[in-house]
């Protein structure tokens, strides 16, 4: 299937949504995971330390990207009530591979997507205070072949 992530196109067998160590994750990470979990045609998998959702359809994958953007934009708009905080977000992509297509753990390499949040605080007459936070408990992996 063809996975379209904001104009970046990937040929893939599927995408997996991960929630690592759910008891340590932030509320926003849980909101992102729950939004994806409620979509149709999603396979659920659970281990003691991780929850996974497998997406094997391009149409569903497009819905996943839309629903994640909607949740993150909602989080961004929550800051406009106070007026002293500006929020933004962006996706970070990460991958590593050797010449044979394996990562540093000798597993088939995948492309990982993580969300980075930016918080800018400060009122009139105060210096700007910026902070970046990575959502390390939530991520998406784009497979390079069927990994399940």
Q: What is the DSSP string of 67-93?
A: HHHHHHHHHHHGGGGTSSEEEEEEEEE
Tell me, yes or no, whether 28 lies in a domain.
yes
With contact defined as beta carbons under 8 Å apart, do 138 and 99 qualify?
no
With contact defined as beta carbons under 8 Å apart, do 18 and 112 qualify?
no
Tell me, yes or no, whether 48 lies in a domain.
yes
For residue 55, give its domain range. Answer: 2-83+93-113+137-143
Tell me, yes or no, whether 125 lies in a domain.
no
Place of tokens 């979509």: 39
On the question of pLDDT at 83 being above 90, the answer is: no
Beta-bridged to residue 17, according to DSSP, are 53, 140
Tell me, yes or no, whether 130 lies in a domain.
no
pLDDT at residue 82, rounded to an integer? 63
How many domains are there within the chain? 1
pLDDT tens-digit readout, 94-142 = 998 888 888 888 888 899 999 999 988 876 677 777 899 999 999 999 9
Tell me, yes or no, whether 129 lies in a domain.
no
On the question of pLDDT at 148 being above 50, the answer is: no
């Amino acid at each position: 299937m063809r996975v379209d992530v904001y104009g970046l196109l990937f040929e893939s067998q599927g995408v997996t949504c991960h929630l690592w160590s759910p008891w340590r994750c932030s509320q926003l990470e849980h909101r992102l995971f729950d939004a994806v979990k409620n979509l149709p045609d999603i396979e659920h998998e659970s281990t003691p330390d991780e929850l996974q959702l497998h997406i094997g359809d391009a149409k569903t994958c497009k819905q996943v990207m839309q629903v994640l953007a909607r949740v993150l934009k909602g989080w961004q708009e929550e800051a406009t009530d106070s007026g002293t905080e500006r929020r933004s977000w962006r996706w970070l992509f990460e991958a590593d591979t050797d010449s044979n297509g394996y990562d540093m753990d000798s597993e088939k390499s995948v492309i990982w997507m993580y969300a980075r949040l930016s918080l800018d605080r400060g009122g009139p007459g105060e210096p700007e205070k910026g902070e970046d936070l990575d959502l390390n408990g939530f991520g998406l992996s784009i497979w390079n072949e069927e990994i399940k």
